[in-house]
């Protein structure tokens, strides 16, 4: 389990680097991100805002004027990781870089607010996810020797007009945020408190950003949101206020299926992915749009969290296991080659052995390609923390987690084997970790494919004959450029 958790952590964490520099900038910014892809993308927005304030990025904390950490609150462990990083910053500040200022961004900043300054002496600056535009003022305060905090959540902020500086980018695939916040209020989840209410970004600015990515030669875009299927643009404002909008605004509103259709039609050479889908908001018109466009990848991350109806209800996930299975059946009817992945939580409040068996049983029915699995971690302020007892002992949570992980491993292998013998289009994203003679990329179903480099280059779309596989990787031989190239 340790090993798998590590892999998950590595997948979900971005390292500190960035590359693009602005001429004439004298100050140095070191920024690192923990948690979800949205945080990675937010750090790119922050780098863009601070590039206008004289900061170029560095991968060496020892020379940084400003060190920012973009934090995650989703589980206790994520917060512990950040606290440990702050200790490391402290050591560096004391030993080699006394001038450096330290700021905390993201969900932990929002959750702890000014308390952060008391709890962690090293911290000079606390900025929540909707307040990054205020960074120039806040940094000025800090440079003048004062602590600065802004954690105000916004009804409007989507950073639509900020063009992110791509960090750690492979130059091939990138993220574009389409919504911010979440209205779902799953009882275990801290996100609605740290990221505020849900709002969508103007499709025009989304298309413009993709246009600029295309000009920079990017080949794959992942549209990001806590809950992308709930995307709704009606001229601005919160999703929950849609009812109050004018008739005209309601009639001309753009939903997620339409947005995908616009993106895929306008950029036929660009590959599109999206994440995350909440089953309660996913509709079949999205699946029809996916079927219509070859350049929308046939993969959906569709978390359910538990296979038990009792748990789903306690979690305030607004669908039953039967409805979920029916949705999947309908998805397969429209797109038989679709691959799905899950998030699961084991040991949520009151989870019995029977509930857990329901989870295993549901997994056996779906046979997901991948999974992100977690032991329940109580988060302060959530409804579960306030109203429910975190009563499953840690040892049992972990044992159940292990069972879920073991089963997922079997299913991942089962799904991987189904690709063997086929010729699949793969977008080259980098050199294989294990061999510098091999490229790695992903097929449309998001499975990693490794194959000999030959004369192909980064960013090429290549047809690869899949010959073998492990649980997580397909191994093949290239047979030529794909028609998309």
Residues interacting with ligand SAH, by CB under 6 A? 74-75, 188-189, 191, 226-227, 276, 278, 303, 305, 343, 345, 374, 376-377, 379
Q: Choose from ligand SAH, ligand F3S, none: what does 345 bind? Cβ within 5-8 Å by kind.
A: ligand SAH
Number of residues that bind ligand F3S (CB under 6 A): 10
Q: Which is nearer to ligand SAH, 376 or 451 (CB)?
A: 376
Q: Choose from ligand F3S, ligand SAH, none: what does 376 bind? Cβ within 5-8 Å by kind.
A: ligand SAH
- Select from 461, 464, 460 the least CA-distant residue to 450: 464
Q: Which is nearer to ligand SAH, 180 or 379 (CB)?
A: 379
Q: How is 295-356 classified by DSSP, letter by letter?
A: TB-SEEE---B-S-HHHHHHTT-SS-HHHHHHHHHHHHHH-TT-EEEEEEEES-TT--HHHH
Q: Choose from ligand SAH, ligand F3S, none: what does 192 bind? Cβ within 5-8 Å by kind.
A: ligand F3S
260 Ramachandran zone, left/alpha/beta (phi>0; psi -120 to 50): alpha
Q: How far is the CB of 227 from ligand F3S (least distance, A)?
A: 5
Q: How many CB atoms lie within 10 A of CB 137?
A: 12
Measure the CA–CA gap between 304 and 301, rounded to whole angstroms.
Answer: 10
Interaction of residue 78 with ligand F3S, rule CB under 6 A: no
Residues 206-245 that bind ligand F3S (CB under 6 A): 226-227
Would you give the distance in Å from CA 444 to the centre of its chain? 18
What single-letter DSSP state applies at residue 164? P
Q: Which x/- pattern over 172-211 shows residues binding ligand F3S (rule: CB under 6 A)?
A: ----------x-xxx--x-xx-------------------
35 Ramachandran zone, left/alpha/beta (phi>0; psi -120 to 50): left
Q: Which is nearer to ligand F3S, 278 or 444 (CB)?
A: 278
Q: Which is nearer to ligand F3S, 18 or 344 (CB)?
A: 344
Element of type H or E holding 124: none
Measure the CA–CA gap between 21 and 30, rounded to whole angstroms.
Answer: 13
- Select from 335, 401, 319, 321 the least CA-distant residue to 366: 321
Residues 248-287 that bind ligand F3S (CB under 6 A): 278
Q: Which is nearer to ligand SAH, 164 or 303 (CB)?
A: 303
**Sites of contact with ligand F3S (CB under 6 A):** 182, 184-186, 189, 191-192, 226-227, 278
């Amino acid at each position: 389990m340790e090993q798998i958790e590590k892999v998950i952590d590595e997948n979900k964490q971005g390292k500190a680097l960035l590359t693009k520099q602005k001429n004439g900038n004298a100050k140095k910014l070191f920024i690192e991100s923990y948690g979800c892809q949205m945080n990675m993308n937010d750090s790119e927005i922050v780098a863009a805002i601070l590039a206008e304030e004289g900061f170029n990025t560095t991968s060496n904390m020892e020379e940084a004027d400003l060190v920012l950490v973009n934090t995650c609150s989703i589980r206790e462990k994520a917060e512990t990781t950040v606290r440990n990083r702050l200790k490391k910053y402290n050591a560096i500040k004391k030993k080699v870089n006394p001038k450096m200022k330290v700021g905390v961004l993201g969900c932990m900043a929002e959750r702890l607010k000014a308390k952060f300054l008391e709890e962690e002496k090293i911290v000079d600056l606390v900025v929540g996810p909707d307040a990054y535009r205020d960074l120039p003022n806040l940094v000025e305060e800090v440079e003048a020797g004062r602590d600065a905090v802004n954690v105000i959540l916004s009804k409007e902020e989507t950073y639509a007009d900020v063009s992110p500086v791509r960090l750690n980018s492979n130059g091939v695939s990138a993220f574009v945020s389409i919504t911010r916040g979440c209205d779902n209020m799953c009882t275990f989840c801290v996100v609605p408190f740290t990221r505020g209410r849900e709002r969508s970004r103007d499709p025009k600015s989304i298309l413009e950003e993709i246009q600029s990515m295309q000009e920079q030669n990017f080949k794959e875009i992942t549209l990001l949101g806590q809950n992308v299927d709930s995307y709704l643009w009606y001229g601005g404002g919160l999703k929950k206020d849609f009812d109050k909008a004018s008739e005209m605004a309601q009639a001309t509103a753009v939903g997620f299926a339409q947005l995908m259709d616009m993106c895929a039609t306008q950029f036929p050479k660009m590959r599109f992915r999206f994440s995350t889908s909440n089953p309660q908001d996913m509709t079949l018109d999205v699946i029809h749009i996916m079927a219509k466009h070859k350049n929308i990848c046939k993969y959906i991350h569709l978390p359910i969290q538990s296979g038990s109806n009792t748990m789903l209800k306690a979690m305030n996930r607004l669908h039953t296991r039967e409805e979920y299975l029916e949705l999947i059946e309908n998805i397969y009817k429209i797109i038989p080659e679709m691959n799905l992945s899950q998030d699961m939580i084991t040991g949520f409040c009151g989870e019995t052995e029977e509930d857990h068996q329901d989870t295993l049983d549901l997994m056996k029915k779906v046979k997901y390609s991948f999974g992100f699995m977690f032991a329940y971690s109580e988060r302060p302020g959530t409804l579960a923390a306030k109203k429910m007892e975190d009563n499953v002992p840690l040892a049992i949570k972990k044992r159940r987690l292990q069972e879920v992980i073991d089963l997922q491993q079997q299913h991942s292998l089962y799904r991987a084997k189904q690709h063997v013998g086929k010729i699949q289009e793969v977008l080259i994203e980098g050199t294989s970790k294990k061999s510098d003679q091999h490229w790695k990329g992903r097929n449309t179903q998001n499975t990693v494919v490794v194959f000999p480099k030959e004369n192909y280059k980064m960013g090429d779309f290549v047809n690869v004959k899949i010959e073998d596989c492990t649980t997580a990787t397909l191994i093949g031989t290239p047979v030529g450029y794909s028609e998309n190239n």
